[in-house]
Chain A
């Protein structure tokens, strides 16, 4: 077995031959320490497994927040050449289709406006924002409503008076992923997910009240409306049951079909079929529909957050300046044009726990971000710094314009619970001045800061290798756990 080698600082190559059947090498962007952990974690083996996918081009990439996933590593990016038999793998998107992060800025100053009200604010958010497993969301949909949201994304809640028009422009894809096919979303997925629009879910999903702690790129921060001392809201969730079931349904079809096409993968969860097959088109249509649900879900939740602020501060929503900075997904496959071997090609780019990061000047960016690059929202672990990044042009050649998505786990949930109990962690975090609301205190320590990598090390590695640059650092003030 060939061993990985460091090509340059924080860039590692996993050579062809690391596992059988690799078609391209793996490239892992990681400091020595982060890379050593990824090897230990088996995530590097997963990077190599992904390199066996038919039609993969460039390399099987992994971002610095890489960790062991199921099939694909979390933090993985894989692009396949559609015209050359390139495949799509539902496992390369994962069950939480379209999961992502949304950041709202505000005209509110921490010291002046919010500091003394933070307890009441978190309490009100906790009352207004549905979270935890199952349960109805803020805007439960009937079948007709669900049909529309799967095609229109944030347009459906906008049509019902939820949110403002400017919100759509500040989303990846303008808030509506095109070419969605609700007919490919099963009745079972509808039943599971339609009532859940406007709910956080569980696990690592959250809503946080944050304060801009440091601005590192003044021009980009100005374009995003960010300044030191300002209050922001960051939320992380996805497509809820509709996405989970959509992946489950299509994965079953593709798992059955792949072997009959002679496709062999080292992990069954990597099951895949060529993008040009009808089953792939069906999956991609359903996946885009679920991604629209995820966009609309975050849109509805952001509106709920604005209303909670308005209630507590006694001001109308419009007077809060709680504009959307950006909404970006980190679990998606997209058909994108990239140059490979000197030729423009249509690639199916899977990002599993990785974020698209378009550099300055990219034509797909909204006008306000054309000069500074695409905002990338990078949540830290609970109780630690989060970051706002901006795309770097060099990422196009480095990683098909992709960067990290957060801190990345470093410890299993079971171990995290053994280190400290949920209630103990609560006391510790509250002792540090954080206000917390969780439906499930016992499981709080599964999401403890010590169970995650250092988000600072992750974003600095991305900056060092040219995937993205740091714009601002945010510290948490209030946390609502899913």
Chain B
């Protein structure tokens, strides 16, 4: 039976070192990617999915990527976040052998982003390194498929391929556009590979795949990973 493992955004750790997103000014080697705006005009804080699992080693450290405190000193962006984004996030779904991701977003793009953060969470991408040490590399992603479900699977498989072939961890993501048979945007890949405690993901499956409007809330997606 599918039992959602609820993820609630972790509170910003008091006193934890505020981290810059670390992507600004980083070389854009992607295909058609562009520099990230300092303050995104968008509906929601991304990555409100909190830590997937209890990780005592990280307790008290900086919040994971995606929490509002990550961007801007002192969580200044909080006040600019429109309420439409409330409810954006992801949760991991139990499966006897594998693991599922249920993600929501005010827009399709945001739901795709949340699903990508879910994938990163399963892989347990390390907390981004100190910005000065490694800003990560932004890589453009563009996939095409005949339907939205196919786009989500292809998008995530592309991210997985990039991370594995570069032995890198996904530390940030932006989905700029989903529609007309393509999904495009970028990911930031941090060096050093997925965390030592990460689950190795073999592939993204079509099993019980869902991409559908979430009445009153935007979009809901569900996808299962082979681990």
Q: A-side interface residues toward B, CB under 8 Å?
A: 40-43, 67-71, 74, 91, 94-96, 132-135, 188, 191-192, 201-203, 241, 244-245, 247-248, 251-252, 255-256, 267-269, 271, 409-415, 417, 439-440, 442-443, 446, 482
Query: How many angstroms from the CA of A411 to the CA of B92 in the assembled complex?
Result: 15
Q: Which residue of B lies closest to A133 (CB)?
A: B200
Q: In whole Å, how far is B159's beta carbon from the nearest beta carbon of chain A?
A: 12
Which of B63-71, B101-109, B131-139, B160-168 binds A? B160-168
The reply to whether A271 and B206 contact each other, CB–CB distance below 8 Å, is yes
Known: A267-B208, A412-B94. A440 touches B165 (CB 8 A): no
Contact count band on B: 35 or more
Q: Which of B140-166 contact A (CB under 8 A)?
A: 145-146, 149-150, 153-154, 157, 161, 164-165
Q: Mark B105-123, 1 if CB is under 8 A from A, else 0.
A: 0000000000000000001
Query: How many angstroms from the CA of A241 to the CA of B55 in the assembled complex?
Result: 28
Q: In whole Å, how far is B64's beta carbon from the nearest beta carbon of chain A?
A: 16
The reply to whether A412 and B95 contact each other, CB–CB distance below 8 Å, is yes
Determine if B186 is an interface residue (Cβ-Cβ < 8 Å). no
Enumerate chain B residues within 8 angstroms of A442, measured Cβ to Cβ.
Answer: 55, 197
How many contacting A-B pairs (Cβ < 8 A)? 121
Q: In whole Å, how far is A363's beta carbon from the nearest beta carbon of chain B?
A: 35
**Can you report 29 A-B residue pairs in the complex whose CB atoms are below 8 A from each other?**
A42-B1, A67-B97, A69-B97, A69-B207, A70-B207, A70-B224, A71-B207, A91-B206, A94-B226, A133-B193, A133-B194, A133-B200, A134-B164, A134-B194, A188-B165, A192-B161, A192-B164, A203-B200, A248-B157, A252-B153, A252-B154, A256-B146, A268-B206, A412-B95, A413-B227, A414-B5, A414-B92, A440-B197, A482-B200
5 A-B pairs besides A132-B196, A409-B96 with CB distance below 8 A are A95-B205, A95-B226, A133-B194, A248-B204, A417-B53
The reply to whether B164 and A241 contact each other, CB–CB distance below 8 Å, is yes
Q: In whole Å, how far is B102's beta carbon from the nearest beta carbon of chain A?
A: 14
Determine if B82 is an interface residue (Cβ-Cβ < 8 Å). no
Q: Mark B10-41, 1 if CB is under 8 A from A, else 0.
A: 00000000000000000000000000000000
Q: In whole Å, how far is A48's beta carbon from the nearest beta carbon of chain B?
A: 15
From B123, B145, B161, B207, A245 is in contact (CB under 8 Å) with B161
From B197, B209, B226, A443 is in contact (CB under 8 Å) with B197
Enumerate chain A residues within 8 angstroms of B226, measured Cβ to Cβ.
Answer: 70, 94-96, 244
Enumerate chain A residues within 8 angstroms of B203, measured Cβ to Cβ.
Answer: 95, 244, 247-248
Q: Which residue of B lies closest to A41 (CB)?
A: B96
Known: A252-B150, A268-B207. A409 touches B97 (CB 8 A): yes
The reply to whether B200 and A132 contact each other, CB–CB distance below 8 Å, is yes
